[in-house]
Structure 1
Amino acid sequence: MVQQGGHDSWVVSCISSGGRPDTEISLALNGNNEVERESSANSDMKSLSVRLPVIEYEGRNIICVFKHPKFLYAESRRITLPTFYLSGVQFRSEVGSNSNEFLELQEGDSNIVISLEVTGNVPRYSIICKK
């Protein structure tokens, strides 16, 4: 996963190496959205890559299809992109009790450490504190 322009994207690459003649590579996606495709080839390797927005493609199947004159049938490899979920958030502080809802600080409190514990499968998250 990469971040570009403030948005998370998957970079999925199908790679073939060592075939003569070159292998024909294609990608099959769920849905019909246009995606940016990047092809590259050098003397030993050929690849096809796509950049997919995480929000639109989480949990979807991506299939790399390889065709070559020596193959009787097209070879394919399928991956399923992860699905993200947040199962819990708890914060702890030296002041007051632990709570999942709020923490009230009193005037004059200083040097207070507040810890946030996030559970689930999330690549990143942001925290907003309001006074």
Structure 2
Amino acid sequence: MRIVLAANPEADQPWVADAAADLARQTGGSVAVVAVDEVEIERLAPAPRSVFTERAERAATAAAERLTAAGIEVAVTVVLPGRPLQRIMEFADDHGADLIVVGSSTRPRVAERLLGSLPLDLIKRSPRPVVVVTHPHRAG
């Protein structure tokens, strides 16, 4: 099984990497990590693209390190520019992914209603299965 883990540049979510590691272990699968800088048009961004890229790099590196520490080989770690929904789905296509793993939204409910929710959008639009991992202490 080829798993794509979409790392969230806006929040540290180590439990998402743990879930991807468990899935890879159970299926004998591989994991590719992607993070998207979320800058669609640089001149309209509230800060230079480098700020967003560095944040995405930290998220991707942290996820990859967590996977490696769990004994999972990371196929590739990539940071991409642009809109997360589209770029994650393109990355999954390019890597022949069987599954996308993403953390639950970290936005407050009001912001989700106004701005949307990446995990929900992935579920609605991705042609492949999406696993949304919630915070372990908030589940249930």
Structure with higher helix content: 2
The answer to which structure, 1 or 2, has the higher relative contact order (CA under 8 A, 6+ apart) is 2
Structure with higher strand content: 1
Q: Which has the larger radius of gyration?
A: 1
- Taking structure 2 as the reference length, the TM-score comes to 0.27
